[in-house]
Amino acid sequence: MTDLLTYLSDLAWGPPTVALILGAGIYLSGALGLPQISRLRDIFGSVLNSGASQKLSISTALAATVGTGSVVGVASAIKFGGPGAVFWLWVSAFFGMAVSYAEGVLSVKYRRECPRSGGFWYVLRDGAGLKFTAILYALFTAAASFGMGCMAQISSASAALKSGFSLDPVLVGAICSAMLLACLFIDGFAGKLCSVWMPFFTGFYILGSLAVILKNISSIPGVINGILAGAFGFRPIVSGTAGYGIARAVSVGVRRGVFSNEAGLGTTAPIHAVSGSGDPDRQGLMNMFEVSVDTFLICTLTALAVLCSGADTKNISDGAGMVLYAAGSVFGEAAGKLVALCIAAFSVATAVGWSQIGLSAAEYILPKSKNIYKIIYSLCAILGATLALESVLKLSDIFNGLMAIPCTAAIIMLRKEIIKTGVKRPD
C-alpha cells in the first residue's frame, strides 16, 4: 500500500505538474513586466499600508505556508539535492511569486459577498466555468487539510516537544485540539492568534538563524560558491555524473520551493477572500509578499545556517538532524529545546491556518457541514499526535498535487484578466 501511495505521490508531483506551475510563473512574470523586481516597493507598501483585517489575513496565510517545510524541509532538500537545490528553490520561488499574484487577484475578483467568503473553487466555477472541477478541487482541499494541514503538523509538533521537553504526545494533542476548537468556533480568533504567534516565533527563528550564520560568517563565500557550483555543475566531477547532479538539484529544489510557498495550489484564497481588501491588484501584491517571506527569508536563512555550520558534510540521516547540528554549533545543549520549540510553533501555526482553508472548502461542498468539519478537524490533532502517519502524508501529497493542476490551469485560462489587472492599474 505504501509503495502504491509513493508511486501516486511521485506521479502527482512529477515533472509535468512542476513544469506547469513553473511555466505559468515564467509566462506571467514576462507578461506582467517582472513585478517581483519592478513592483518591489509596491509589494512591501501593500503590507505596510494595509488595514487591520488585511494584516490578520496575511498572518493567517503565512501561518498556513510557513511550516516545518521551511525548516526541516529545506535541510532535507540540501541532504538529497545538494547545495545546488537552494538556487533552484530560489528560482521556483521567484517565478512562483507571479503565480501567487494571480491567485490573489482571482481570490478577490471571484469571492462571494453577504456573507463574504471565497476560495479557488469559486474561481474554477464562476471564472473558468468548471463546476465539477470546482467540487473536486474543494474535496481535495478538505481532504488535504485533515492530513497535511492538521495530523502531519501536530505529529511534527508532538515529536519535537517529546524530544526537546519530554512532553506526553497525548497531552500535546489534547492542547492542540482545544486550541483548534477555539480557532474554529470563535470568529476571528485564528487571525488574532496568528497575528501575535507568527511575528514572535518568526522573529525568534530569524535571530537564531542569524546567530549561526554570523558565527560562521567567514564560510559565506564558500557556501555561495557551493550553491552555484551545485546548481550548474561547475564542480570537476566525472562526466555523466555532473548531468545527474544538476538534474537532481533542479528537481529537488523546484519541488521544495513549490511545497514550501504553495504557489500554484490556491490554498490561501479562502483566507484572502474575506480580508478587507477590495482591490485585486493590491491583494495580489500581498500574496507576493507572503512568498518572499516564506522562501527568500525563512527558507534562505535555514539553508545558509545549515551550510555555514557544515551540517551538510556530516553523516546526518535527516533534515531535522541537520538543523539540530547547525543550532548546536552556537547554542550547545540548549539547541535541542530551541529547535523543538520553533518546529512545534510553526507546525501548530500551519494547523491553525489550514483549519480556515479546510473549513471554507467543507462549507462549499456541504454548506451545513461546517460544525461537523470543525469537530473532526480538532480530533485529528489528537490522532496526529499519537499515530504513525506515513500513509496519511503520502495521501495528502497526492491531494495537494491534484489541487495544483486545476488551480494552475484556471490561472492560465484567466490570464488576460490577471494581466489586465496587473498592467493597466491606476498609478
pLDDT digits (tens, 9 = 90+) for 52-93: 667 777 777 777 777 777 787 788 788 877 888 888 888 888
Q: Is residue 417 very low, low, confident or very high in pLDDT (cuts 50, 70, 90)?
A: very high
| pLDDT > 60? residue 246 | no
For 314-352, what is each residue's pLDDT tens digit? 887 777 788 888 888 888 888 888 888 888 888 888 888
For 170-208, what is each residue's pLDDT tens digit? 998 899 899 888 888 888 777 777 778 778 888 888 999
**Mean pLDDT value of segment 414-424:** 87
φ/ψ of residue 422, rounded to 5: -80, -30
For 38-62, what is each residue's pLDDT tens digit? 998 888 887 777 666 677 777 777 7
Lowest mean pLDDT among 115-119, 214-218, 312-316, 340-344: 115-119
| pLDDT > 70? residue 104 | yes
Q: Residue 295 has which C-alpha cell? A: 522562501
Measure the CA–CA gap between 392 and 384, rounded to whole angstroms.
10
Q: Is residue 260 very low, low, confident or very high in pLDDT (cuts 50, 70, 90)?
A: low
Query: What domains appear along the chain, each with residue ranges and CATH number?
Result: 2-423 (1.20.1740)
**pLDDT value of residue 34:** 93
Average pLDDT, the chain: 82
Measure the CA–CA gap between 305 and 299, rounded to whole angstroms.
10
Measure the CA–CA gap between 343 and 385, rounded to whole angstroms.
14
Percent of the chain whose pLDDT exceeds 90? 24
Q: Is residue 419 very low, low, confident or very high in pLDDT (cuts 50, 70, 90)?
A: very high
Phi-psi region of 182 (alpha: psi -120 to 50; beta: other; left: phi over 0): alpha
Q: Residue 96 has which C-alpha cell? A: 512562483
The whole-model pTM stands at 0.86
Q: Residue 49 has which C-alpha cell? A: 499600508
Q: Please tell me the number of Cα atoms within 13 Å of 96 on its side-chain side.
A: 31
| DSSP structural state of residue 369 | -
Is the previous residue joined to 115 through a cis bond, with omega within 30 degrees of 0? yes
Which is more confidently placed, 249 or 18?
18
| pLDDT > 90? residue 27 | yes
User: Which residue's C-alpha cell is 504557489?
Assistant: 263
φ/ψ of residue 425, rounded to 5: -110, 155
Q: Is residue 24 very low, low, confident or very high in pLDDT (cuts 50, 70, 90)?
A: very high
Q: Are 61 and 69 in contact (CB under 8 A)?
A: no
| pLDDT > 90? residue 134 | yes
**pLDDT value of residue 404:** 87
Q: Which of 411, 413, 416 is nearest to 98 (CA)?
A: 411
**pLDDT value of residue 242:** 43
**pLDDT value of residue 241:** 40
| pLDDT > 60? residue 415 | yes
- For residues 13-45, b (16+ Cβ closer than 10 Å) or e, as one string? beeebbebbbebbebbbebbeebbeebeebbee
Measure the CA–CA gap between 414 and 266, rounded to whole angstroms.
14
